[in-house]
Chain A
Amino acid sequence: MPSVGAEGLSSFAPSAGFLRRRRLLAGLFAALLWAAAALSVLITLAIVAVLIGESLPFLEEVGLSAVLLDTVWTPLFAEPRYGIWALVAGTLTTTLIALALALPAGLALALYLCEYAPPRLREAAKPVLELLAAVPTVVYGYFALLVVTPLLQGLIPGLPPFNMLAAGLVLGVMILPYAVSLSEDALRAVPRELREAAYALGFTRLQTGLGVMLPAARSGIVSAFLLALARAMGETMVVTLAAGQNPRFTFNPLEGAATMTAYIVQVSFGDVPYGSRAYRSLFVVALGLFLCTFAVNLLATLLSRKRSHRGA
């Protein structure tokens, strides 16, 4: 058997130069990847910095109380008023209508998919939900303005062409796939022993679902609907097109009223001179929107973390 000498082996060993180059590249590569990950944190910081930085001068000029203690929003009038509640009311009303539709329908669908549906139907449902989520929001806006509103006008005489009811309902349809797929995940995370124990006690599937699965997945489901809620608050096109662009402090779904997002779109769809009052008012509204959605998202995250701590 021919033996390999020391020189024979060393000719296979990588040269010192190769190893040095490789080490250098490895370090460079790791640094690049780190920078990419750090960038994502920078984005959040930039959003917060921009929103605060651009609205602070505005808030200093008009005062925080003018924004928070008034219900008339007319920042572009000759005698401007900055009561942001007029926009918040629109956002809240449309969002709550959306939730009133999406909550029962979403719960029922998730429960059905999880407890009743044969595996084949369940497999088919996922891609369908995904396709639904891919419908562009401006297309939903078209539906709200030109299909749902005329339909509702047939049912409710005197309904204005811009109303929060149609916008809210379409918003509900829009967040439905999202709410269903998140609640389904929460239901799926319940240990199967719980379901089997219920069956062993003679529960029907409906009793199992309502009496065992839903309570067990409670925090996950609440967090799913909070995330859906935050999405509805931040949605733009449906409410801009269907609820109108007139800031009005009202919670009546049969009236039209601008939401926070609708105001931003309405103003920025024109030409906004940099640093003008219109420009700054955009960022004040945006800051309000950011705080609202951030609070709801944070609540959702805290709830789902509680669930994972309990180990359910």
Chain B
Amino acid sequence: MSSTLPPRIRRARLLELAFGLFGLLLPGAAAFTLLVLMFDLVRSGLPHLDWDFLSAFPSRRPERAGILPAWVGSLAILSVTAALAVPLGVAAGLYLEAYAPRGAFTRLVEVNIANLAGVPSILYGLLGLALFVDGLGLGASILSAAMVLALLILPVVIVATREALRAVPRTLWEAAYALGADRRQTLLRFVLPAAAPGILTGVIVALSRAVGETAPLVAVGALSFIAFLPPSPLRPEPPYVDAEWLFSPFTALSIQMFGWLSRPQPAFHELAAAAGVVLLALALLINALAIVLRLRARRLAP
């Protein structure tokens, strides 16, 4: 019967079918490509992945090299980054959603945040080099690196905070106001706790990006060969805590991987693959956590 249709329509149907198949193939092809790439990374890296690799310092001899300072550095930088970016980002998000009057300043801030998200990450690194490393004299330290990454993820945290606040039902605000709470009390005791899961998800996504960043850390002076750990944040005598580690020279997993990749010897490339497996696993794990959190929040929502 379809053979009686005009050829124009037959052609349209054929194309329609063809694109449907092509569309099915395309995500498949993308997934396949990615799997091949991952497979290659894991195949080269996995033989090196053992406890010795995780607990050894880098070395000129590939068979003895490890990533201990790298993952310790990554975790240290990430925790300081979060400690800086979360309060600042949430505060700015709160201001824009709950306080900002309609006006030139608010528009400026909004346009600016959108623009900041488009600034290449390496430029944040150079800002850090001029401002934190040399300007404030913090040196190529964990603190400088964390400050740069905090600035980098600030727009993401602000946007996530605003979206989470907007998702809180208006009735909750109004109920709090009706009970006599002022704006600060309403925000801190009712709205912010209700928005917390959404904010947390956004923060985690932002941190998963931060953990993989390499270029800005290179710019603020990361080292790819460090044979010591930052000093411990704890001390046996009062006051028991010590901030010395913040000013320690640093490396990170991404930097370690980059450093090994920049060497010509294939043995170091295998080490880079192993570091890459750890880095990728870390980034994907953090991201998967955010996805799970979001799905759960959506299921719990009315």
Contacts and interface: CB of A to CB of B under 8 A. Distances in A.
B99 A30 contact: yes
A62 interface: no
Contacts of A173: 33
B158 to A, nearest CB: 7
Contact of A50 (B108, B127, B258): B127
A16 interface: no
Contact of B121 (A51, A236, A272): A236
B116 interface: yes
A116 B20 CA distance: 7
Main SS class of interface, A? helix
Interface stretch (B48-56, B57-65, B234-242, B278-286): B278-286
Contact of B119 (A127, A234, A265): A234
A105 B89 CA distance: 35
A40 B154 contact: yes
**Shortest 5 CB-CB distances between A and B: which pairs?**
A234-B120, A136-B212, A112-B23, A36-B91, A236-B215
Interface in B90-132: 91-92, 94-96, 98-100, 108-109, 111-116, 118-127, 129-131
Contacts of B126: 50-51, 264, 268, 282-283, 286
Size category, A interface: 35 or more
A116 B221 CA distance: 49
B218 interface: yes
A142 B116 contact: no
Given A32-B91, A135-B212, A142 B257 contact: yes
B114 A40 contact: no
Interface in A273-312: 274, 282-283, 286, 289-290, 293-294, 297, 301
B152 to A, nearest CB: 10
Contacts of A130: 205, 287, 291
Interface in A136-153: 136-139, 141-143, 145-147
B99 A44 contact: no
Size category, B interface: 35 or more
A139 B116 contact: no
Contact of A54 (B130, B205, B284): B130
A134 interface: yes
Given A32-B91, A206-B12, A138 B184 contact: no
B212 A241 contact: no
Query: B33, B40, B262 — which one has the most chain A CB atoms within 10 A of its CB?
Result: B262
Given A44-B115, A282-B126, A204 B91 contact: no
A131 B284 contact: yes
Given A116-B23, A268-B129, A204 B15 contact: yes
19 contacts: A22-B185, A30-B99, A33-B99, A35-B91, A37-B109, A41-B112, A112-B27, A135-B280, A136-B211, A139-B41, A204-B13, A204-B15, A234-B123, A237-B258, A265-B218, A269-B262, A286-B126, A289-B123, A290-B119
B129 A112 contact: no
B214 A109 contact: no
Interface of B: 12-13, 15-16, 19-20, 22-23, 26-27, 30-31, 33-34, 36-37, 40-41, 44, 87-89, 91-92, 94-96, 98-100, 108-109, 111-116, 118-127, 129-131, 134, 151, 154-155, 158, 182-185, 205, 208-209, 211-215, 218-219, 221, 224, 254, 257-258, 261-262, 269, 272-273, 276, 279-280, 283-284, 286-288, 291
Interface string A102-115: 00010011011000
A34 B122 contact: no
A283 B185 CA distance: 46
A227 interface: yes
Main SS class of interface, B? helix
Given A34-B99, A234-B121, A301-B111, 12 more contacts: A26-B182, A36-B87, A36-B92, A37-B109, A142-B41, A146-B44, A173-B33, A204-B12, A204-B13, A236-B122, A264-B215, A301-B114
Contact of B95 (A36, A176, A289, A294): A36
B30 to A, nearest CB: 7
Contact of A147 (B40, B134, B154, B257): B40
B13 to A, nearest CB: 7
B205 to A, nearest CB: 8
A134 B122 CA distance: 17
Given A136-B212, A268-B218, A37 B118 contact: no
Nearest to B208: A134
Contacts of A138: 212, 214, 254, 257-258, 261, 276, 279
Interface of A: 22, 25-26, 29-30, 32-41, 43-44, 46-47, 50-51, 53-54, 105, 108-109, 111-112, 116-117, 125, 127-128, 130-132, 134-139, 141-143, 145-147, 173, 176, 204-207, 227, 230-231, 233-237, 241, 261, 264-265, 268-269, 271-272, 274, 282-283, 286, 289-290, 293-294, 297, 301
